[in-house]
C-alpha cells in the first residue's frame, strides 16, 4: 500500500483512478455540481506564464454514506442530503479566497491548480490547513456523512491544441478522517496531425490523431500541463508509425523519460510514481465509425527506480540533476534528444 503523509496529520493511501471509481461505486447516493464558472490567475497559461487570469470550471462530486431518505420522503433539503446551492456557494467562496491569497505581491502562497483544490477542500470540509483561513461555522461536508469527495478544476484555455487541461483531486473518508487520496493531471482532446497508418494511401499525408493523456497518482505539487502537452504534441507530430499501438507506447515512454523521471527522481527511491494513461483516436481511419481507439496504461515506477539506481553513488537524491526538456522548446524534440544523447 502506497502512503503519502499530508492533509494535516493523516497518512493517506494513494489510489489510482480505477480504485477511486470502485470506492465511489459503493455509495448509495451522490450529489454533483458541474462546471461552476470563475476566472482566476491560477497555474500558468499555455505559454508557461504565471499570474495570467484564465477561465476555470470547477466540478464537485460528493458520495454519501446513506441514501437521502428523509429528503426524498419530505421533498425538502434535510440533513440526509447535501444542499447543492450551499455547496456551490462555498466552492466559489474558496475561489475568491484563493484569488485574495495569491494576488498580494508580498505573499509566498503557491498559485498552482493543486493549491486551488486544497483551498476548496479546506472550505468544504475544514480539513487541511491553508494558512490564514479560519471558520466560525461548521463545515458543509463531514466525514460522518460523506464517503468521498472529488473536485476537478478544468482550464478550458489551458491547452494549445486541445479542449483543456484539468487536475482532479479526491479524498476517500473513513467515518472520522480522510484515509485515501487520488490525484489525476490530464490533457483533453489534443488534435495533432501525424503520419500514421498501415495502408499505402495513409503514408501519403498526415491525418489527425486525437490524444487524451493522464498522469494518474500525480503526487507532485506542481502542475506541468504545458510541459506535458509539449512532449506529447512534438512526439506525435514528429512520428511516422504504422499503428496506434506503437505510437501510444512511444508517447508513454517519452512522457516517462522526459517529464516524469526529471520531476520524481529528486524525491528518492520510495516516491509514489504516476501511471501514464493515454487514449489515441484516429477519426478518419474507419469511414463508418467515429474512430478506432487504442488505450494504454504504463506504470512509470520501474523506470523511475532504474533511474535512481543509475545514481547509486549519490546519497542525497534531492541533489540529482536530470536534464529537462526546455520549455518552450524551439525546433523539434527529436533533434533536441539527439543532441543530448550525443553529449552523453
DSSP result, 195-231: ---SSGGGGSS-EEEEEEEEEET---S---HHHHHHH
CATH architecture designation of domain 195-344: 2-Layer Sandwich (3.30)
Domain 1-183 has CATH 3.30.1130.10: yes
Instruction: Report d(CA 306, CA 289) in Å as an integer.
Output: 42
Beta bridge partners of 164: 188
Q: Residues 238-254: pLDDT tens digits?
A: 999 999 999 999 999 99
**Which run of H or E residues covers position 270?**
none
Weakest-pLDDT range from 78-87, 194-203, 298-307: 78-87
Report pLDDT digits (tens) over 82-111.
889 999 999 999 999 999 988 764 456 679
Q: What is the pLDDT of residues 320-331, one digit of tens each?
A: 778 899 999 999
pLDDT band, very low/low/confident/very high, at 265 (cuts 50, 70, 90) = confident
> What pLDDT was estimated at residue 134?
78
Task: Count CB-CB contacts under 10 A for residue 114.
Answer: 21
Chain segment 165-175, per-residue pLDDT in tens: 999 999 999 99
pLDDT score, position 7? 47
Q: Quick check: 313 pLDDT over 70?
A: no
Q: What is the pLDDT of residue 6?
A: 44
Q: Is the pLDDT of residue 79 over 80?
A: no
Tell me: pLDDT of 319 over 60.
yes
- Binned at pLDDT 50, 70 and 90, residue 317 comes out as low
Average pLDDT of the residues in 200-228: 97
Give ranges for CATH 3.30.1130.10 in the chain: 1-183, 195-344
Grid coordinates representing 185 are: 493531471
Residue 59 has pLDDT above 90, yes or no: yes
β pairing state of 54-64 and 146-155? antiparallel
Helix locations, the chain, DSSP H: 17-25, 69-74, 84-103, 113-125, 225-237, 244-255, 261-264, 301-309, 333-343
Q: Which of 18-22, 183-187, 198-202, 263-267 has the weakest average pLDDT?
A: 263-267
pLDDT at 104: 62
Decide if pLDDT at 3 tops 50. no
pLDDT of 315 > 80? The answer is no
At 139, phi and psi to the nearest 5?
-70, 155
Residue 129 has pLDDT above 70, yes or no: no
Is 327:227 a contact under the CB 8 Å cutoff?
yes
Q: Are 322 and 261 in contact (CB under 8 A)?
A: yes
Residue 2, pLDDT > 90, answer no
Residue 178: half-sphere exposure toward Cβ, Cα within 13 Å: 28
Amino acid at each position: 500500500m502506497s502512503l503519502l503523509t499530508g492533509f494535516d496529520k493523516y497518512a493517506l493511501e494513494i489510489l489510482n483512478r480505477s480504485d477511486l471509481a470502485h470506492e465511489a461505486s459503493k455509495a448509495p447516493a451522490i450529489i454533483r455540481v458541474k462546471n461552476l464558472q470563475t476566472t482566476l490567475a491560477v497555474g500558468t497559461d499555455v505559454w508557461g506564464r504565471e499570474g495570467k487570469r484564465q477561465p476555470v470550471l470547477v466540478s464537485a462530486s460528493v458520495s454519501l454514506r446513506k441514501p437521502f431518505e428523509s429528503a426524498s420522503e419530505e421533498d425538502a433539503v434535510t440533513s440526509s442530503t447535501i444542499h447543492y446551492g450551499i455547496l456551490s456557494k462555498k466552492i466559489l467562496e474558496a475561489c475568491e479566497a484563493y484569488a485574495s491569497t495569491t494576488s498580494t505581491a508580498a505573499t509566498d502562497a503557491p498559485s498552482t491548480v493543486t493549491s486551488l483544490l486544497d483551498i476548496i477542500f479546506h472550505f468544504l470540509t475544514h480539513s487541511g490547513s491553508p494558512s490564514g483561513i479560519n471558520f466560525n461555522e461548521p463545515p458543509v461536508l463531514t466525514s460522518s456523512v460523506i464517503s468521498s469527495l472529488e473536485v476537478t478544476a478544468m482550464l478550458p484555455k489551458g491547452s494549445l491544441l486541445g479542449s483543456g487541461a484539468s487536475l482532479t483531486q479526491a479524498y476517500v473518508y473513513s467515518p472520522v478522517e480522510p484515509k485515501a487520496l487520488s490525484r489525476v493531471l490530464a490533457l483533453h482532446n489534443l488534435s495533432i496531425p501525424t503520419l500514421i497508418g498501415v495502408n499505402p494511401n495513409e503514408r501519403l499525408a498526415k491525418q489527425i490523431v486525437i490524444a487524451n493523456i493522464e498522469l494518474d497518482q500525480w503526487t507532485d505539487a506542481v502542475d506541468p500541463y504545458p510541459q506535458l502537452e509539449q512532449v506529447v504534441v512534438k512526439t506525435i507530430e514528429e512520428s511516422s508509425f504504422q499503428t496506434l499501438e506503437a505510437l501510444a507506447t512511444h508517447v508513454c515512454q517519452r512522457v516517462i523519460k522526459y517529464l516524469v523521471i526529471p520531476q520524481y527522481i529528486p524525491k528518492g527511491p520510495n516516491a509514489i510514481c504516476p501511471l501514464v494513461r493515454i487514449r489515441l483516436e484516429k477519426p478518419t481511419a474507419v469511414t463508418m465509425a467515429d474512430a478506432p481507439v487504442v488505450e494504454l496504461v504504463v506504470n512509470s515506477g520501474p523506470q523511475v527506480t532504474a533511474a535512481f539506481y543509475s545514481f547509486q553513488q549519490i546519497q542525497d537524491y534531492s541533489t540529482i540533476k536530470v536534464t529537462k526538456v526546455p520549455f518552450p522548446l524551439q525546433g523539434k524534440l527529436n533533434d533536441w534528444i539527439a543532441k543530448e544523447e550525443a553529449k552523453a
